[in-house]
Amino acid sequence: MEKIGIIELQTTSVKLVIANVLDNRSFIVTDKREDRIKIASDISEFELIKQPNIATLSTILKTYKALLFAYDITNVQCVASCEYLNAKNHRSFFDELHGVNGFRFRILTPEEQANSLYLAFINTLDCPKGVVLSINGTNVQILAYSRRNVLNQIEVKTGTVNLAEKYENQNLSPAQKMEAMKKEFDSYIAGIDWFEGLDEETQIVGTGDAFLSFAKLSKKLRHYPYAKNHSYQFNKEDFDKVYDFVATLDIDKTKKLKGISSERADVLASAMSIMKSVAEKSNIQKFIVSEAGIAEGTLFGYNASSALEKPLTDVLGTSLETITMFYNGENLKNIQNIYEISLILFKQLKVLHKLPRNFVKVLRIASYMHDSGKRISNTDYQKKGFNVVLDSDIMGVNHREQVLASFVVACQNLDDFSMTDWVKYSPILLETDLDSIRKLAVIVNLATKLDMFNTGKVKDISCDILGDSVIMKTIVESPADLEVREALKVSSDFVKAFKKHIEIL
């Protein structure tokens, strides 16, 4: 299995991403490390990268080099953000990094950087229409797309560090500073006329430190129970609450915010001002956060070269197959069969479960990851699967759907349902979801029993609902008596979930 390392160099951070490349050229990230640097201030104030910051970065890169050696990785792609083009000494800077550590960085053009970010977002998020907002130390990139087509893009040559430094010593309250910074950024984007033609379904897709810091604050104010940041969604009302909260804090109080580093605290107010400016100019009411950035976009471009021309059409399906191939490749066909049987049962029992089409996503995740708890232990693996699904990097799905799928996996035996976990995650669930989880769990359990010997004998199922009974007629390519006998063991749970008895023929 090929391994690859990506080093992404921004002006406020440097990141190492290590990934395993599978036979189908999909990849799975196995390790990630990020360190803070302060080069943005040098570029903003002096247009020169100073030696102390070069020394700090060189030390970080030495650690990365040692990690890559430990992982036995020789294929390393090094990319630097387009902000470095604004440093007068960027050539000598990168020559020195190469001389000390052997890493040869490629500085992205603004267009290449925007395209890399687009590849990262469109291939990892469930967001058909979006305005990508990448807020950096000395620039901001804005890109609009719809249905996997880039519509417009622009680079603004100012960022969080520029704005923060400009208003740092002015005798203004925190709220006044934020308003002044917002008005200044308003002037930079005043000429963007294509904001007016955006579809009402369009979301702001936010990336970088600014949005990760926002996500942490927003979750605390909302008492949000799910730790995952990627695909975190919020609306204009949620944004305004965080904005108004930050507007009451001076820099000392901002630095004391739990989970926000001192470097991010320095530019939190300016980042929020930029976010508000773009939100008001575009009149977009919904936001989604992405942890995927240039490094992930580079991975897509390098490994899945077809993604350069055409983004993935099935983000969730590709993600689930990649995870399955990595952890359980020899049983991929069996797992695909289980999903197909689950989907057949979902359609055949629709008159009973009455769940809308969007629950197929939940069913798909649970089917593919029904036995993921075995990565921990074969004992009570369904219950252990709850946290495995919850913490997996599943792409193309929102938080609620992933949490629901975790419950479906955990309670394939209905008696294993955890009310404690339900109460914990109830803020992002609906009361009706409890009944939905039980029904989907029974469907997945039936499907696993009908292909538990990995034979793929069951090709189709026809269900007849007669009174208080459901007659399931299996269409098989060879006798499946053992599979049917195992599936009948789900009868008691089927009665609990669907209020009907089952017969399987």
Phi-psi region for residue 277, left (φ > 0), alpha (ψ -120 to 50) or beta?
Answer: alpha
CA distance 93 to 276: 35
Q: Is residue 230 part of a domain?
A: yes
What is the distance between the alpha carbons of residues 183 and 185, in angstroms, rounded to a whole number? 5
**90 and 177 belong to one structural domain:** no
Domain-located, residue 301: no
Say whether both 286 and 323 belong to one domain: no
Domain with 98, as residue range(s), is 2-108
Q: Based on the fold, state whether residues 451 and 496 are members of the same structural domain.
A: yes
Q: Which of 73, 108, 143 is the last residue of a domain?
A: 108
Predicted pLDDT of residue 264: 76
Ranges of the chain with pLDDT below 70: 262-263, 303-311
Which pLDDT score, from 0 to 100, does residue 483 have? Answer: 93
For residues 349 and 225, membership in a common domain is answered with no
Q: How many domains does the chain divide into? A: 3
Q: Which of 80, 108, 136 is the last residue of a domain?
A: 108
pLDDT value, residue 310: 60
Q: Are residues 333 and 461 in the same domain?
A: yes
Q: Are residues 94 and 36 in the same domain?
A: yes
Q: 321 and 285 in one domain? A: no
Q: What is the CATH number of the domain that holds 414?
A: 1.10.3210.10
> Are residue 204 and residue 246 in the same domain, yes or no?
yes
Angle at 75 between CA 71 and CA 77, to 5 degrees: 115
Contact present, 310 and 15 (Cβ < 8 Å): no
- Domain assignment present for residue 117? The answer is no
Residues 151 and 180 in one domain: yes
- Assign residue 27 the CATH number of its domain: 3.30.420.40
φ/ψ (deg, to 5) at 439: -70, -45
What confidence tens digit (pLDDT) does each residue in 129-173 have? 999 999 999 999 999 998 878 899 999 999 999 999 999 888 899
Tell me the C-alpha distance between 409 and 340, whole Å: 16
Contacts of residue 358, Cβ cutoff 8 Å, sequence gap at least 6:
401
Q: Has residue 120 been placed in a domain?
A: no
Same domain? For 38 and 153 the reply is no
Q: Which of 55, 74, 108 is the last residue of a domain?
A: 108
Q: Read off the CATH number of the domain in which 259 is found.
A: 3.30.420.150
The verdict on 255 and 344 lying in the same domain is no
* Whole-structure pTM value: 0.92
309 domain-assigned? no
* Sign, Cα dihedral of 116, 119, 120, 122: positive
* 102/48 same-domain check: yes
CA dihedral angle for residue 411, residue 335, residue 447, residue 344, rounded to 10 degrees: 120
